C-alpha cells in the first residue's frame, strides 16, 4: 500500500474524511475495468482496514462486481432468451417472449434477483389472475 492509495478529503461541512480507489481487474463478461471506490471513513485507520479487506477479497477471488450481484429480472431474461431460443421451436420462443414482455416484465422486470421473494411472486400471480378474470378469459 502506497501513501497515495488512501486520500484525505473534506466534506461540504468541512469534516475530514478518507477515501480510496482500487483497480480489481477486468469483468470477464463485459471486458470493462472493475474499479472499487470507497469513501466516508472518519479515520485513516478505518480506511486502511477497509482497503486491506478489499485487497484481500480480490486476492482470494471473493470479490464480485456489484453489477453481477445486483442483476434485475429483466437483465436475467436478456441473458436467458438467446440461450432459450436455441432449444425450442421458433413459435414457442416468440410465445414465451411475448408472455414475458406483456405479463412478467411489467411486474418483476426492474426487481433485483436478490429481492424476489415467494410473497412477491404470489402477489404477481394474484394480479395476473385478477386481470384474467376481468378480461373474461377464466
Q: How far apart are CA 107 and CA 9, in angstroms?
A: 43
Which residue, 25, 116, 23, 27, is CA-closest to 67?
Answer: 27
Highest mean pLDDT out of 54-63, 64-73, 96-105: 96-105
Residues 6+ away with beta carbon under 8 Å from 84: 93, 96
pTM: 0.50
Q: What is the DSSP letter of 9?
A: E
Average pLDDT over residues 56-67: 71
SS3 of 63, please?
coil
pLDDT tier, 62 (very low <50, low <70, confident <90, very high otherwise): confident
Amino acid at each position: 500500500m502506497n501513501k497515495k492509495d488512501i486520500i484525505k478529503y473534506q466534506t461540504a461541512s468541512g469534516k475530514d474524511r478518507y477515501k480510496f480507489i482500487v483497480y480489481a481487474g477486468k469483468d470477464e463478461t463485459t471486458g470493462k475495468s472493475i474499479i472499487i471506490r470507497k469513501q466516508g471513513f472518519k479515520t485513516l485507520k478505518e480506511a486502511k482496514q477497509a482497503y486491506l479487506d478489499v485487497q484481500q477479497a480480490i486476492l482470494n477471488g471473493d470479490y464480485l462486481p456489484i453489477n453481477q450481484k445486483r442483476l434485475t429480472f429483466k437483465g436475467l431474461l436478456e441473458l436467458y432468451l438467446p440461450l432459450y431460443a436455441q432449444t425450442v421451436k421458433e413459435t414457442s420462443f416468440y410465445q414465451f417472449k411475448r408472455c414475458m414482455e406483456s405479463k412478467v416484465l411489467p411486474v418483476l422486470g426492474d426487481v433485483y434477483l436478490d429481492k424476489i421473494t415467494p410473497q412477491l411472486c404470489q402477489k404477481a400471480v394474484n394480479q395476473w389472475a385478477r386481470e384474467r378474470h376481468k378480461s373474461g378469459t377464466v
